[in-house]
Amino acid sequence: MRKIYLGVLALYLGILSSHAQTKPQPAKDSTNYESRKLKIDEINFVSAYYHQDGNNSAVTGGIGTEKLTDFANTLDLQMSRYSKTGKKHTFNFELGVDHYTSASSDKIDPYSLSSASMQDTRIYPSLNWTISNDKTGNAFGVTASYSHEFDYQSFGGGINLTRLSKNKNTQFDFKANVFLDTWKVILPVELRPPGYGSGSEKDDNRPVDYKPRNSFSTSFSLSQVLTSRLQAALIVEPSYQHGLLATKYQRDYFTDGSARVENLPDNRYKLPIGLRFNYFLDDHFIIRTFYRYYMDNWGIRAHTAEIEIPVKLTSFVSVSPFYRYNTQVGTRYFAPYGQHNPNAQFYTSDYDLSSLHSNFVGANIRLSPPNGVFGSEHFSSLELRAGHYMRSTGLNSNIVTLAMKFK
């Protein structure tokens, strides 16, 4: 079925190209302004398959299967036109669809044949409009987004700003985003108050709560060309969340044998700071390195280091092996199964928030023939990326990503 979709997409691009070649060209007016209509710059299609397994499910209090699969697809359409003032208007529309199955989510209500979140589909369209000046490189844009799945929906908005120095060696980027989410509060079956619903839309009309979660994030990036071979970038991304930050269908077990739903503070500050260095060794090798320090007010501290070395094998084939290491000090609210203090105000057994270290290794291969992939002039590049993730808590995962670009 995917081949059919790609065939239709390639055919559509061919029709557009043919149509553009046969249409009469607009005449220039007396003011020397050349009308440039909206045109498609590129289309990107990315498809990824992800699978994980482990034995520390947060749904069942830190024990049990973490088996999960996710099949994610995004279609990115970029179009542009020039205004009478010579400014470039770029419109970027993205549509993402994820479908996942989670074995642990079915433990929310093990007495039902199918619980609320055993499998789900998430749909997330977004649209960005950016106005840029080709001469100066400066740009300003706005973004609107939406996301929906079974137990939450999100409305998002943001702005982006780019400023370049006159010699184009220094670039400053700023982004600000807000996401206004609403969560359906699904509780484990044995911890629901009398009359509280399952959250399922099938054969259950009992009420459930809905809670907000609002996120505000910013990103400051300063890039500098240091030499003809070396580039560097500093990235600071402070963010703030407020609302329901706990996942209420996750259980926690205490030293006195009692069980409660997860409870975490209703606000969270995050501060990641990153450094990136790219060194162009010669015409065949690039060394890309990245380091990030992370901290938040829940007590998590983390260090991440990554290296990727793209190797150009021929004029149109490159291979990029990569490796990433992460170490994390967990939140003060974490404890394993059955080890929470009954007097604690906040508690979680989600191992994503625990102390851990992880390794992620893989490679990316990219094809970009001058005559197009498989001889199709509009099929400009094809990439295949595979990675294997190993975490000290026992969680392992694999991901395979296919990316195609059409111009």
pLDDT in tens, 314-366: 989 999 999 999 999 999 999 999 999 999 999 999 999 999 999 999 999 99
At residue 104, the pLDDT reads 75
Window from 9-13, 180-184, 189-193, 228-232 with minimum mean pLDDT: 9-13
State the CB neighbour count (10 A cutoff) for residue 269. Answer: 12
Angle (nearest 5°) at CA 381 between 380 and 385: 170
**For the segment 172-199, what is each residue's pLDDT rounded down to a tens digit?**
999 999 999 999 999 999 999 999 988 8
How far is Cα 335 from Cα 338, in angstroms, rounded to an integer?
A: 8
Average pLDDT of the residues in 388-398: 97
Tell me the pLDDT band of 30, cut-offs 50, 70 and 90.
very low
At residue 103, the pLDDT reads 78
Closest CA to 175 of 148, 152, 156: 156
Contact 351, 300 (CB under 8 A): no
At residue 117, the pLDDT reads 54
- Average pLDDT for the chain: 90
> Is the predicted pLDDT of residue 32 greater than 70, yes or no?
no
At residue 18, the pLDDT reads 39
At residue 105, the pLDDT reads 74
Tell me the pLDDT band of 21, cut-offs 50, 70 and 90.
very low
Window from 48-62, 106-120, 230-244, 343-357 with minimum mean pLDDT: 106-120
How far is Cα 59 from Cα 39, in angstroms, rounded to an integer?
A: 48
E strand spans, 300-377: 301-308, 311-312, 317-329, 356-367
Which residue's entry shows tokens 């808590």? Answer: 393
Tell me the pLDDT band of 255, cut-offs 50, 70 and 90.
very high
The percent helix, strand, coil of the chain (3-state, each to 5) is 10, 55, 35
At residue 330, the pLDDT reads 98
At residue 75, the pLDDT reads 97
Closest CA to 41 of 16, 6, 74: 16
Closest CA to 306 of 360, 366, 365, 237: 360
What is the token pair recorded at 14?
């061919």
Per-residue DSSP letter, 203: S
- How are beta strands 396-406 and 379-391 bridged, if at all? antiparallel
Tell me the pLDDT band of 113, cut-offs 50, 70 and 90.
very low
